[in-house]
Homo-oligomer: A and B are copies of this chain.
């Protein structure tokens, strides 16, 4: 693989296809905030404003605007920021799950990921604008997220005493990511104090040594429940995402052994999640191959492949092992031959098992301007770093 060409391809897709699509179609110029339910050609097919989808756009455009010094993107993020902070907060400081188009709260603050992405969006906004109110907002949302993590569903929790209590992988995954995002944008290490603890939790508690898989849910006592669907649920995309989050957060602190260990988990997770018949990576799996409770378990989702690409790019750059070059190439080939929409730009989000789009949408209740642009940015960055290392080594060899 030509590193330079590949990195350029990723960047070109970001700047020539993905960002223009969202810039053109997502801004609600009448009421503020964004449209995220965008059809194949960018037409709006629903105006509900899901907060975690909204805040992810703030995060993406504020980050891009800061890195590429583009005030147009910062303004686009700011327009959403103002709408979301004006209308989006419930009296206790948490964020509603959804607003209607005009900004009237439509769904209760029943999901802590709204707070999580508000923290990320506001932090990115602070870094892009320097406006201290954004820092205060980021810290407030972050505190709300951390406060709620022990009882994430609050009054909307339906579980009673007969339901096994479990630790959920997603919360630890996001803590890891938030540590990096807060460090980068707020220049604070206040939220990464537990980074090493998170490393232990993710790579030891959720990793099942016997089956060599990451579990989505484990019992409070750390044991694995192989008797229930919930206990056996695997989510390879989540696992791959959290592994590159760990490499990113702890990049300067990890020993070579720890890096090799994390990258080995990346490889094993990919090998297990791979569909050897049709290619691509499954959405959900059952650890013992029993029926999965989710009807869409075998679908191929854009974000799973985005996260797998980033994980492979990190592992390749960090270890230099050839197997990660192959892994990146394999996922790159399948992803780029199935997801991009050559007719209207941007990527399809949902394919059936054999790789045909089941939905023409470019954005919806769960797809917004986030995983894909981050993938294109992170991969091009890792590939460029890899190329620079190769060049430096070559120069050194030439000079000796």
Contacts and interface: CB of A to CB of B under 8 A. Distances in A.
Interface in A274-292: 290-292
B290 A299 contact: no
Interface string A98-122: 1110111111101000000000000
A158 B290 CA distance: 33
Interface string A344-364: 000000101100001111001
A292 B359 contact: yes
Contact of A295 (B97, B155, B160, B299): B299
A47 interface: yes
Contact of A353 (B100, B163, B352, B365): B352
A336 interface: no
Interface in A71-108: 96-100, 102-108
A296 interface: yes
Q: What's the number of copies of this chain in the assembled complex?
A: 2
Interface in A358-377: 358-361, 364-365
A21 to B, nearest CB: 15
Interface string A12-45: 0000000000000000000000000101000001
Main secondary structure of the interface of A (DSSP, over half): loop
A68 interface: no
A359 B295 CA distance: 8
A150 interface: no
A254 B141 CA distance: 60
A252 B324 CA distance: 71
A233 to B, nearest CB: 11
Contacts of A299: 295
A67 interface: no
Contacts of A97: 158
A8 interface: no
Nearest to A87: B162
Nearest to A159: B107
Given A107-B158, A161-B104, A162-B104, A297 B358 contact: yes
Given A104-B161, A295-B295, 17 more contacts: A46-B227, A46-B293, A47-B227, A48-B229, A96-B160, A98-B162, A107-B162, A110-B158, A156-B156, A291-B359, A291-B361, A291-B364, A293-B364, A295-B296, A295-B299, A295-B358, A352-B353
Closest 7 CB pairs of A and B: A104-B162, A106-B162, A100-B162, A291-B361, A295-B296, A106-B163, A45-B290
